[in-house]
Structure 1
């Protein structure tokens, strides 16, 4: 399991290498929740996925992403909000063997 570094800002993008995949991740807060977009290379894998506590985000291997992503609330079981990303809510990468 690998923690992906996020800051407590309402909209952010980062590049990270996950299991030999060059990934782009965009996280943005809306009034209805926190949402995530995922790119592998220049290919969009998924867009506008609602982030929930301990719910896998990708779930389908046919999307072209090896492994999965999940937010974990370290202080309870609430869905993530941008205000405590990187401290209370961690974005975790789980490889295929996890």
Structure 2
């Protein structure tokens, strides 16, 4: 069974993080805009997805044809609202699941 991994984030409006996932180098560019929190995903320096709206308990990659080895989702630990930068890593936690969906 695949493990659920917590991806640590900072509570800032714009951030880029590098994280090893499933043996790959993954870069996440996360930006807060007036219309929500958005993410770009790079796999080994190749842009896989751009401008994905992050919503509560909703897979971000969603399709295996993108070539990403798993999927990620934000989870609201205090309710059911979509993520906002000010509560990242506290109220909204980003999880990675290898092999999903």
Q: Normalising by the residue count of structure 1, what TM-score does the alignment of the two structures yield? A: 0.97
TM-aligned CA deviation for residue 97 of structure 1: 6.5
1:2 match: 5
Question: What is the aligned partner in structure 2 of residue 43 from structure 1?
Answer: 46
Q: Give distance in 2, aligned partners of 1:56 and 1:13.
A: 19
Instruction: Tell me the equivalent position of 2:95.
Output: 92
Query: Which blocks of at least 5 consecutive residues in structure 1 are unaligned?
Result: none
The runs of 4+ residues in structure 1 deviating greater than 6 Å are none
Residue pairs, 1:12-91, within 5 angstroms: 12-91=15-94
| Aligned-residue CA RMSD (Å) | 1.1
Could you tell me which runs of 5 or more consecutive residues in structure 2 were left unpaired when the two chains were aligned. Answer: none
Residues of 2 paired with 1:4 and 1:34: CA distance?
16
For each residue in 1:49-77, what CA deviation from the matched residue of structure 2 results, as whole angstroms up to 9, or x when unmatched?
Answer: 00000000001111110110100000000
CA–CA distance in structure 1, aligned partners of residues 88 and 56 of structure 2? 12
Are the equivalent residues in 1 in contact too, given 2:71–2:100 (CA < 8 A)?
no
